[in-house]
Amino acid sequence: MGVIRTIAVVILSISFVVFVALFGRLPAFRRTPVAFLHRLLLKHIPNAFGVLDERLTGRRVSRSLARTGDYLMNEKHPLVLVFFLLLQIIGEVLFIPASWDRLGVSQKIVIPCLVAAPLWFLYLSATTSSNITPANHAACMRIYPYDFALFHPGYFCSTCHFAKPARSKHCGICKACVQKQDHHCIWINNCVGRNNYIWFILLLVSIAMLLAYGTQLGYVLLDGRLQERFVPAALTRGSLTAKRWSTKMGWGEFWHCWAWAISVEWRIGAVMMLAFMSFPLAVGFLVYHVYLIWAGMTTNESGKWTDWKEDIEDEMVYKARISELRETYPPLPEDVEPRDQDVSWPAGVRAKWWLVRMEDGRKPILRSRVKEGEEEGDGMEQHREVVDERWAKVESLKEVENVYDLGFWENLKDSMFNRG
């Protein structure tokens, strides 16, 4: 029992810390205990350690750790990818040889496929680039329309000096603007974007299937070992009903039997428990991305929509019809704002409203020049500020249409097959 408890505590602790570190910043967990633990883990504990280190070593240890952390989190390196790869390979090297002689023909056919799939999709996810380059920039500008909420025409990347295509984002780790940037994934040492999103989703699916199958197969093998140990075949020969090793067994004795099985078959048992406790993490990633596809969003965009929601609740957001604003703000040059007919998004699915965020909460104003003599003044040109009545306050996020949401199946089609 002690073996199971120790392995379970270690694996659960690591899985929980990884979950908090990776998911704690997601908009869905704002103002929740997960967000608090994320701040505690990545902000408050390091700050407290810094204060202590200041007194003891003059922050020498903190500076060294900060440089290491900055390299691990903000530089493009393969360390986490290598760890991820080794974790899978070591688990398979431990599990498969120890169980191979007890597997059936169908299992011996399925296992190589389940082992190879995550490795292949990991390779494709890590090596497929969605970066925007001078060669493909013009084409990237015509992939998605601007929604005039999250993405407006006329903005340039201060690093790449490109006009920013709709749904793109500059990644400080990859040192490039990325098409339909979802997030930078340290597990694949690459940005998840337009070109490799399909491989990333298939990686999550294949890992979830591998973990589920490994858990199920490990359970079957250890259960068979317990059956053989406590109910030998000689005892059930000629019996009309099968006898289970756990029949009429209390919970304490039941778990002690499993502890014995795991200690005897430690390679199978340890990998089975690791797979069982890692499975929810893989499924959590997969379910979250299925939700994003359903909502027509990326991880980057979900955070932006959450910010808009909070600003709307603070009564800081206004909207106006784009058709009316064009009287004041005509379209930009085609290399900065492509014409609607040149954008390869379904015709007719375009933004109708222009959203602005007003820090003071007041309705936008128009400035008009007043010529000399029209109004009393000092003879110099004056400006008159007039409230722009074209703008109306946004009362709810439901009033804002997401032009990138075409319905689940079309969103799925776009995510999987709209690739450069």
- Paired strand residues for 178: 131, 169
State the average pLDDT over residues 85-98. Answer: 93
User: Is residue 72's pLDDT more than 70?
Assistant: yes
| CA–CA distances in Å: residue 120 to residues 72, 115, 123, 194 | 25, 9, 5, 19
> What are 259's two structure tokens?
């502890």
* 3-state secondary structure at position 230: helix
High-pLDDT (> 70) share of the chain, %: 90
State the average pLDDT over residues 29-56. Answer: 79
| CA–CA distances in Å: residue 39 to residues 12, 50, 309 | 20, 15, 22
- Residue 196 has what pLDDT? 96
CB neighbour class for 94 (10 Å; exposed up to 12, middle 13-18, buried from 19):
middle
Burial 286-313 (b: 16+ CB within 10 A, else e): beebeebbebbbbbbbbbbbeebeebbe
Per-residue pLDDT band for 69 (boundaries 50, 70, 90) equals confident
- Cα dihedral across residues 393, 399, 401, 402: positive or negative: positive
- Paired strand residues for 392: 319
> pLDDT tens digit string along 367-393?
665 555 555 455 555 667 788 889 999
> pLDDT tens digit string along 302-320?
989 988 998 999 999 999 9
- Residue 132 has what pLDDT? 95
User: Is residue 353's pLDDT more than 90?
Assistant: yes
What is the distance between the alpha carbons of residues 64 and 297, in angstroms, rounded to a whole number?
A: 38
- Residue 133 has what pLDDT? 94
What mean pLDDT is reported for the chain?
86
- In whole angstroms, what separates CA 58 from the centre of its chain? 38
- Residue 27 has what pLDDT? 66
- Residue 241 has what pLDDT? 53
How many CB atoms neighbour CB 321 within 10 A? 13
**Top-confidence residue, 33 or 189:** 189
- Residue 163 has what pLDDT? 94
Active site residues: 185
